[in-house]
């Protein structure tokens, strides 16, 4: 199998060279791209390389954002005993070895891990070579890989208070989650025109994460007649896997403003158009909702490590900043809750008032500040 580093050339004249590793979902990819964009804004000649997992969505999304990416052959552990699990240690060993060769060729000043399959081998290889390293933990409950690597890395940027129960206190920095700078800048008038919506009728946005959510998609399909009757317009991001069926289900309701969309690239406009949002409770989604100040109903996915989405959602619902509906409650409860909220402007105002103070609009800046400190500290040590 070819070495993934074989065609990577490092720009030794760049003001800095940084590797950003991880991916798997938009919740890892978009924060990683936000970090890269801020670093490039400060240092236009910075040489930035992404490392992802072959076959995962970062291998297309990162090049679309204008960055190079190298893929490693790595995947996660299955929750049951499978032949793939038996091969997992071998895959990790090979991935760490390939990551090491990549580091030796690219010669980064620092490495950033954002979570996801590729993050672990790159950080293991980097810390074993004393390359400055930073973890960005998006969730209120730390992931297993980040917990295992915490004592090896130099800095851990977190989005929630109370993370010292997972990480060494002296390496922690509370920064918030990086969110694309344009996400809160959409104009409602432009948004309604872009999606072809009626400004006189309420808009519901449904987002099941970048990969889609079966439970939300099934409930939304079943609720289409109810939404039409209520005069509600719908922007429904289904995810690639579910889109063909969802498109077929929504087609008879298109004239009523109920739209199924595989993936929404202009999320700034989707948020600007929405009066209420139904969303999974991934870290990126929660951070975007805080920044945009949208009244929302959070439905945590039950299929994530350590049930961290429930903890993310509870961080908001406990402050009356969001409503929480469990995945099990979705079929009989979700759309009653959402429609009640759409009919209750006072409740929307309360949720908006309580969620906005939880936003951290300067998160990306704070993380890149920490990254630059590591780079300059290492250069000062090397110059002695």
Write out pLDDT tens, residues 62-97: 999 999 999 998 865 544 555 555 555 677 778 889
As given in the structure block, the two tokens for residue 167 are: 């990480």
Query: Is residue 352, in this structure, part of any structural domain at all?
Result: yes
Rounded Cα gap, residues 312 and 139, in angstroms? 7
Query: Is residue 240, in this structure, part of any structural domain at all?
Result: yes
Q: Are residues 162 and 279 in the same domain?
A: no
The secondary structure element, H or E, covering residue 63 is helix 58-64
Given this model, what pLDDT does residue 175 score?
A: 96
**Which residues contact residue 275 at a Cβ distance below 8 angstroms, ignoring those fewer than 6 apart?**
202, 203, 204, 295, 342, 348
Angle in degrees, 0-180, between the axes of helices 283-292 and 26-42, rounded to the nearest 10: 60
Q: Are residues 171 and 206 in the same domain?
A: no
**Contact at 8 Å (CB) between 225 and 172?**
no
**Contact at 8 Å (CB) between 209 and 282?**
yes
The values of phi and psi at residue 100, to 5°, are -60, -45
Q: Are residues 163 and 213 in the same domain?
A: no
Domain that holds residue 120: 17-178+361-383
Q: Are residues 166 and 193 in the same domain?
A: no
What are 9-68's pLDDT values in tens digits? 667 678 899 999 988 887 889 899 999 999 999 999 999 999 999 998 899 999 999 999
List, as residue ranges, the binding site for UDP-N-acetyl-alpha-D-glucosamine.
25-27, 139, 180, 210, 264, 283-288, 309
**Contact at 8 Å (CB) between 167 and 156?**
yes
Query: Is residue 3, in this structure, part of any structural domain at all?
Result: no
Q: Are residues 109 and 209 in the same domain?
A: no
Given this model, what pLDDT does residue 3 score?
A: 44
List, as residue ranges, the binding site.
25-27, 139, 180, 210, 264, 283-288, 309
As given in the structure block, the two tokens for residue 344 are: 């209750």
Q: Are residues 321 and 187 in the same domain?
A: yes
Query: Is residue 8, in this structure, part of any structural domain at all?
Result: no
Q: Are residues 217 and 168 in the same domain?
A: no
Choose among 269, 204, 196: nearest CA to 230. 204
Q: Are residues 339 and 367 in the same domain?
A: no
Kindly list the averaged pLDDT for each block of 10 residues, start to end, along the chain of length 384.
52 86 85 95 96 92 94 68 59 86 95 90 96 93 86 94 93 92 87 97 91 91 98 96 95 97 94 97 92 97 84 94 97 98 98 96 96 94 82
Given this model, what pLDDT does residue 116 score?
A: 83
Structural domains counted in the chain: 2
Given this model, what pLDDT does residue 208 score?
A: 87
**Contact at 8 Å (CB) between 292 and 263?**
no
Given this model, what pLDDT does residue 40 score?
A: 96
Q: 273: helix, coil or strand?
A: helix
CATH code for position 31 = 3.40.50.2000
Given this model, what pLDDT does residue 4 score?
A: 45
Given this model, what pLDDT does residue 1 score?
A: 39
Query: Is residue 132, in this structure, part of any structural domain at all?
Result: yes
Q: Are residues 234 and 372 in the same domain?
A: no
Strand extents, DSSP E, the chain: 17-21, 47-53, 68-72, 110-113, 133-137, 155-158, 172-174, 203-207, 233-237, 258-261, 276-279, 296-298, 323-324
């Amino acid at each position: 199998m070819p070495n993934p580093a074989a065609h990577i050339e490092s720009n030794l004249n760049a003001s800095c060279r940084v590797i950003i590793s991880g991916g798997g979902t938009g919740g890892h990819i978009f924060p990683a791209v936000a970090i890269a964009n801020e670093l490039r804004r400060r240092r236009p000649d910075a040489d930035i390389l992404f490392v992802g997992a072959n076959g995962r969505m970062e291998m297309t999304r990162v090049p679309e954002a204008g960055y190079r990416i190298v893929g490693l052959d790595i995947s996660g552990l299955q929750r049951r005993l499978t032949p793939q699990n038996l091969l997992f240690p071998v895959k990790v060993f090979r991935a760490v070895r390939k990551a090491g060769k990549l580091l030796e060729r690219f010669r980064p000043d620092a490495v950033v891990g954002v979570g996801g399959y590729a993050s672990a081998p790159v950080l293991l290889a980097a810390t074993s070579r004393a390359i400055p390293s930073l973890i960005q933990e998006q969730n209120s409950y730390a992931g297993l890989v980040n917990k295992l690597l915490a004592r090896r890395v130099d800095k851990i940027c977190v989005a929630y208070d109370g993370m010292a129960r997972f990480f060494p206190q002296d390496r922690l920095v509370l920064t918030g989650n990086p969110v694309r700078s344009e996400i809160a800048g959409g104009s409602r008038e432009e948004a309604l025109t872009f999606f072809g919506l009626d400004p006189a009728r309420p808009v519901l946005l449904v987002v099941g994460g970048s990969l889609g959510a079966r439970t939300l998609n099934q409930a939304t399909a079943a609720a289409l007649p109810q939404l039409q009757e209520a005069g509600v317009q719908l922007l429904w991001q289904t995810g690639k896997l579910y889109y063909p069926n969802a498109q077929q289900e929504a087609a008879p309701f298109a004239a009523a403003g109920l739209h199924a969309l595989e993936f929404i690239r202009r999320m700034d406009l989707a948020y600007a158009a929405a009066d209420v949002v139904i969303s999974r409770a991934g870290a990126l989604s929660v951070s975007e909702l805080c920044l945009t100040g949208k009244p929302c109903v959070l439905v945590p996915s039950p299929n994530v490590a350590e049930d961290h989405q429930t903890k993310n959602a509870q961080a908001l619902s406990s402050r009356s900043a969001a409503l929480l509906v469990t995945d099990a409650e979705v079929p009989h409860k979700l759309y009653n809750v959402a429609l009640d909220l759409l009919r209750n402007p006072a409740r929307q105002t309360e949720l908006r008032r309580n969620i906005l103070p939880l936003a951290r609009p300067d998160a990306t800046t704070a993380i890149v500040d920490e990254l630059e400190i590591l780079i300059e500290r290492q250069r000062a040590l090397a110059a002695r």
